[in-house]
Amino acid sequence: MSVTISNITSIVTSSINSTERMNTSLVTCTPGDALFLTSVNSSSLTPLQVFGVSYAYLHGYISICVCLFGFMANMANIIVLTRKNMISSTNFILTWLAIADLFTMLDYFPFAVHFYILKDVDLPPLFTRGYGWICFLLFHGSFSICCHTIAIWLTIALAIFRFLYIWFPTRGSTLCSLDHAKKVIVVIIVSTIIFTIPNVIANDFDFVDVCEKTINTTNTSTVIYKREKIYKWKLRQENAFFQFNESLNFFVQASLMKIIPCIMLTLLTILLVIAMHRAYKRRMALKNKGKKEDSDKHNEHNRTTLMLLAVVVLFLITELPQGIMTILNIVDIERFYESVYMPLGDLFDITALCNNAINFVLYCTMSTQFRETFRQTFCSCCPKIRPGWRKMGVAHAERNGATVTTTHV
């Protein structure tokens, strides 16, 4: 997820420098909105940067709508997947995936509200007048990355578990047991927290003393200058340690949080498709031998695998563009990062948020067991069959050596 504080485009860089130059000598300061407009209307903006600036005005409103739906969807996922009849290693991983997605949205919602919808129009993006909000921004910058990375690796674990289950039908239930799933989840969460530490160390904030010019309401000829602090995010580069930490943080995020997950998701998607084809041939062989019960069981497993494959593919669609962008960014970090990667940051964010919210729809449309459990949990008062109607039944009888089929309504 490109989320967060790293989404400061090159557009803002010029305004940061100009703001710092004004500092305490701003007795003749220009209004705050002029700072922002100067940076946005720069003639050096590329079409992609213009798109990034234009979309930023809509991003906050779209994000909170997606987050509100995601709150309810992921809460429903957690409640349904933790019912007794739903307990399994696969559903246990899906439950923690829903928890990670829920925390991502709980964190992103106030970020979108304050820094997009309620943003001070006279300040550049991700600048704020509130000390509490700059502290939240630093927290958001690491917590959102941590939650999203956990979700990515949980999806990888889910794909690996499912592949083992269908590729090794005799040992699959042992290899993919609930205990193994719990251990894998603990390893993923602890490892992600450790690998997020360099990002926590790298992020810091600074403030700029500015002078706000206001007009006295009782005497319009009187100009009042009010000094205040404007807080902004910055990278810590004071000494060799922080410079090394910055390089380490970039390497960790590029490799463990972008490139490697994209490669693994791509390979696992291919392997799952191959495994499903193999399982399909096995099911058809059982059906031809007259083993209908075993064939139906394999068919149910295939439907579950198809649903999980959809979850993996959606993650791949979300993460693959960012992985490609990260590789290109390494090749030409100076120009590509500022002119291409950063203007698309908000777009990457909203696609990731949509992916976090869409799993509920997949479960409802592709899993009969999930739908039935959801109905029993949230809609128990609703009758399964409308009053006055009965299920259609088919009875078979044999008369004079011939089979007669009778339909009952």
Q: What is the pLDDT of residue 159?
A: 92
Burial 127-155 (b: 16+ CB within 10 A, else e): bbbeeebbebbbebbbbbbbbbbbbbbbb
Please give the C-alpha separations between residue 99 and each of 107, 147, 148, 365, in angstroms, as whole numbers: 12, 9, 11, 21
- The CA-based diameter of the chain, rounded to the nearest angstrom, is 111
The crossing angle, in degrees rounded to 10, of helices 240-254 and 292-331 is 140
* Residue with the two structure tokens 């926590």: 200
Per run of 10 residues, the mean pLDDT along the chain (length 409 residues) is 41 39 39 45 73 90 96 96 92 96 96 92 85 94 95 94 86 89 96 95 86 58 65 87 89 89 91 84 69 54 80 89 81 72 88 92 89 87 51 47 45
In this predicted structure, what is the pLDDT of residue 185?
97
Q: Are 66 and 350 in contact (CB under 8 A)?
A: yes
DSSP single-letter state for residue 289: T
